[in-house]
């Protein structure tokens, strides 16, 4: 039997010509690990305005060249995509972001982050944001032409704040023949209203002593808004007495 060693192989020859065995002396080759698809995490929306918003998230390329984009629209069917952006081919999280413009105001939008490589596609969870509505100035309005007087010398007049999205605030006065008999600052939330109560002056209380069923004290109410609006009207003070 003879052994031949050449080019990293050991060849054993059987003299009788019965068999031939070949074995390798070289290093074995380890199979390459399978490549992984990217990962995508949808983040929160920021800078949300009437027609714009900024979307965010993170992408992990998992070692393969990856790009990302956001899907967005009024439903989970989305319907629109942001431009594709390169996320590289690293193995750590990469910040993802995109700006949206031209959106409808006062509308809820769905969105999610999508990452794509030659290994696979990953989609983040669905998130939502709602664009704001235009701000319009409300107006103080008269809710009633009759006021009341309580036994504790408190008078009240009904005011509301409507026709806009802002609160109404300012200074309220009640006067008779040019003399103030009650006053206070007021603040009324948008789309609401009610009695604005204020304390009578001593002069006002004396005037009200002459109140009768058919002879109620007429007073001028002025609501001077902090935004420059001014509302002036006349009411007759009724008298409510609790027993």
Section 16-41 average pLDDT: 58
Q: Which residue, 190, 239, 191, is CA-closest to 213?
A: 239
Model confidence pLDDT, tens digit, residues 212-236: 776 788 899 999 999 899 999 998 8
Three-class SS state of 202: helix
For position 223, which CATH number holds?
2.60.40
CA distances to 86, 87, 97 from 40, rounded to whole Å, are: 13, 11, 12
Model confidence pLDDT, tens digit, residues 98-144: 999 999 999 999 999 999 999 999 999 999 999 998 878 889 898 87
For position 102, which CATH number holds?
2.60.40.10
Q: How many residues are recorded in the chain?
A: 243
Q: Which residue, 90, 81, 89, is CA-closest to 118?
A: 89
Three-class SS state of 226: coil
Query: Does residue 153 form part of some domain?
Result: yes
Model confidence pLDDT, tens digit, residues 180-210: 999 999 999 999 999 899 999 999 888 888 7
Query: Does residue 34 form part of some domain?
Result: no
Query: Does residue 22 form part of some domain?
Result: no
Alpha carbon distance 66, 58 (integer Å): 12
**53 and 120 share a domain?**
yes
Considering 111, 130, 149, which residue would you say is the last residue of a domain? 130
**Total of domains in the chain:** 2
Considering 130, 160, 187, which residue would you say is the last residue of a domain? 130
Q: Is the dihedral of CA 180, 183, 189, 192 positive or negative?
A: negative
The boundaries of the domain holding residue 55 are: 39-130
Section 52-61 average pLDDT: 98
Query: Does residue 89 form part of some domain?
Result: yes
What is the CA 63 to chain-centroid distance, rounded?
A: 35
Alpha carbon distance 42, 126 (integer Å): 7
Query: Does residue 166 form part of some domain?
Result: yes
**93 and 170 share a domain?**
no
**123 and 158 share a domain?**
no
**125 and 153 share a domain?**
no
């Amino acid at each position: 039997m003879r052994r031949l060693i050449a080019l990293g192989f050991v060849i054993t020859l059987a003299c009788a010509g019965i068999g031939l065995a070949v074995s390798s002396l070289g290093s074995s080759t380890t199979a390459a690990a399978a490549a992984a698809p990217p990962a995508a995490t949808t983040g929160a929306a920021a800078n949300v305005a009437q027609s714009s918003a900024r979307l965010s998230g993170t992408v992990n390329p998992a070692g393969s060249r990856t790009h990302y984009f956001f899907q967005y629209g009024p439903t989970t069917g989305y319907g629109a995509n942001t431009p594709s952006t390169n996320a590289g081919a690293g193995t750590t999280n990469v910040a993802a972001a995109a700006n949206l413009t031209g959106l409808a105001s006062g509308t809820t939008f769905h969105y999610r982050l999508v990452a794509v490589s030659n290994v696979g596609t990953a989609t983040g969870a669905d998130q939502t944001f709602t664009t704001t509505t235009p701000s319009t100035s409300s107006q103080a309005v008269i809710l009633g032409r009759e006021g009341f007087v309580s036994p504790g010398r408190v008078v009240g007049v009904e005011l509301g704040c409507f026709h806009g999205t802002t609160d109404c605030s300012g200074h309220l006065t009640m006067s008779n023949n040019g003399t103030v008999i009650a006053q206070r600052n007021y603040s009324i939330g948008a789309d609401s209203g009610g009695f604005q109560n204020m304390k009578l002056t001593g002069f006002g209380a004396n005037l009200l002593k002459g109140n009768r069923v058919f002879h109620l004290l007429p007073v001028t109410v002025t609501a001077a808004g902090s935004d420059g609006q001014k509302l002036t009207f006349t009411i007759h003070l009724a008298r409510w007495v609790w027993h």
